[in-house]
Copies of this chain bind each other. A is one copy, B any other.
Amino acid sequence: MKILKLSFLPLLFLSAFCFSQEEVEDQEAFFIKSIYEHSLMEGSCYDWLSYLSTNIGGRLSGSKNAALSVEYTADIIKKAGADKVWKQECMVPRWIRGDQEVVKIINSKSIGTKSLNCTALGNSEGSGIDGVQAEVIEVQSLEEVEELGAAGVKGKIVFYNRPMNNAHLRTFRAYGEAVDQRGRGPRIAAKYGAVGAIVRSMTTKNDDIPHTGFTFFTEEDKKIPAIAISTNDANFLSDLLEKEKVNLFMRNTSYMSTEVPSHNVVGEIKGSEFPEEIIVIGGHLDSWDLAGGAHDDGAGCVHSIQVFETFRALNYKPKRTIRCVMFMNEENGLSGGKKYAELALEKGETHIAAIESDSGGFTPRGFSADGEAEVINNNFKRVKEWFDLLEPYGLRLTKGGSGADIGPLKPQGPLMFGLRPDSQRYFDFHHTAVDHIDAVNERELKLGAAAMTSLVYLIDQNGVIQ
């Protein structure tokens, strides 16, 4: 089949001068169709993601792989059509996982000794090589630990086991409701004298795969080892605890090293009419170390780079400046997102819009829109009208959060968007050893890129009311 590449360009060049609103919409619809055709037939995003997640692999902040991924994406952003590409230095925390973690049920009356599938939580301090051994108590919430207090918790291992609520249609909602156990649970347990914390993996699935992720301690906090176990093992342990007291042994040697310099990567196509108006698109380049960070968030990175490649292939010259940013350190610090916003403020740049893709490379279902109240008030309704053009592609606009990396930009007033792919499979892979390229369907990934490109195009054509 043929892809129409150039035939619409005379129309586009004329559109500003002599076309009715309806004709402009027809041209926009035609251009969006071309975006989809190019992305599906000739887009490079899957090949890039394959290289990033397989040839480079996991990209924990401060690691050698993270540095390699900075060089690799700087190169492909340039080749995809950026006028210029630069790096923004930012200091990142450097977490060292250490040796393979161990969590074991010890000397149970009914089952003896049994190892559990586990992985240390990011930024956590390990137990040291001797490990810790103690009675484990199961809780359903942080509040339960607060209620138990030191009398109930001291000297014990606290096991957070509230499942994600599978009744929710959107898995991110279930994640949001459960993740306080991982993010703050170990710290609260430590506060009351627990010697370790075990957290049920954050996933909608019952399987043997442990899920890592960030946990938070302040400098002043007492640190205790914090390890996630698989949902199957969490269920097993919970069943056992109904029958008897259980002692656990846990051992890991993770630790926080000193901060090191790393980088965001920024590529730019200068706008032809309004170069001072910046539209920023991006994902985060760092990932957890267990696998290749294919869905989280290699997908968001290559979605964003694909926007440049598709514009170039279709010979589209944006009116406004488009920036493609690979943010560093979303997973365990957000220093890249903060640095980008800080520099934008320093330089007095005007970001009219920001779009993040950090929900995986699945079939896109729409975008959520966010921003300061006035920006949303001025723009939501008119952007919703643009979505008549995107509805044939199964995309809807809703209000809601956008993305962690672009979050620090929000006070500077851009209209913010988050790509919303189908969320059903996301937590099968999130922060695990199976977040590989094999978990990504090429067409689904390309459709996400096409959705991003279409929205950038519509913003570029129609602007944002400040």
Contacts and interface: CB of A to CB of B under 8 A. Distances in A.
A204 interface: yes
Interface string A432-452: 000000000111100100000
A321 interface: no
A4 to B, nearest CB: 10
A424 B40 contact: no
Contacts of A169: 36, 40, 392-394, 447
A167 B425 contact: no
Interface in A229-266: none
A167 B424 contact: no
Contacts of A40: 166-167, 169
Contacts of A363: 363, 422, 424
A166 B2 CA distance: 11
A422 B363 CA distance: 8
Contacts of A393: 169
A428 interface: yes
Interface string A381-394: 00000000000111
A165 interface: yes
Given A363-B424, A394-B365, A166 B205 contact: no
A242 B217 CA distance: 64
Interface in A330-360: none
Contacts of A148: none
A454 to B, nearest CB: 12
Indicate how many identical chains form the complex.
Answer: 2
A6 interface: no
Nearest to A174: B1
A41 B365 CA distance: 23
Contacts of A1: 165, 167
A205 B3 CA distance: 19
A166 B443 contact: yes
Contacts of A167: 1, 3, 36-37, 40-41
Contacts of A441: 424-425, 428
Contacts of A205: 442
Interface string A270-293: 000000000000000000000000
Interface in A378-411: 392-394
Contacts of A424: 363, 441, 443-444, 447
Contacts of A204: 443
A28 to B, nearest CB: 17
A41 B164 CA distance: 11
Contacts of A444: 424-425
Nearest to A167: B37
A12 B169 CA distance: 24
A167 B442 CA distance: 13
A442 B424 CA distance: 9
A231 to B, nearest CB: 12
Contacts of A447: 169, 424
Contacts of A443: 166, 171, 204, 424-425
Contacts of A171: 443
Nearest to A450: B169
A310 to B, nearest CB: 13
A27 to B, nearest CB: 19
Nearest to A443: B424
A50 to B, nearest CB: 13
Interface in A2-49: 3, 36-37, 40-41
Contacts of A442: 205
A295 to B, nearest CB: 13
29 contacts: A1-B165, A1-B167, A3-B167, A36-B167, A36-B169, A37-B167, A40-B166, A40-B167, A40-B169, A41-B166, A166-B443, A169-B392, A169-B393, A169-B394, A169-B447, A205-B442, A363-B363, A363-B422, A363-B424, A365-B394, A422-B422, A424-B441, A424-B443, A424-B444, A424-B447, A425-B441, A425-B443, A425-B444, A428-B441
Interface of A: 1, 3, 36-37, 40-41, 165-167, 169, 171, 204-205, 363, 365, 392-394, 422, 424-425, 428, 441-444, 447
Given A36-B167, A424-B441, 14 more contacts: A1-B167, A37-B167, A40-B166, A41-B167, A166-B443, A169-B392, A205-B442, A363-B363, A363-B422, A363-B424, A424-B443, A425-B441, A425-B443, A425-B444
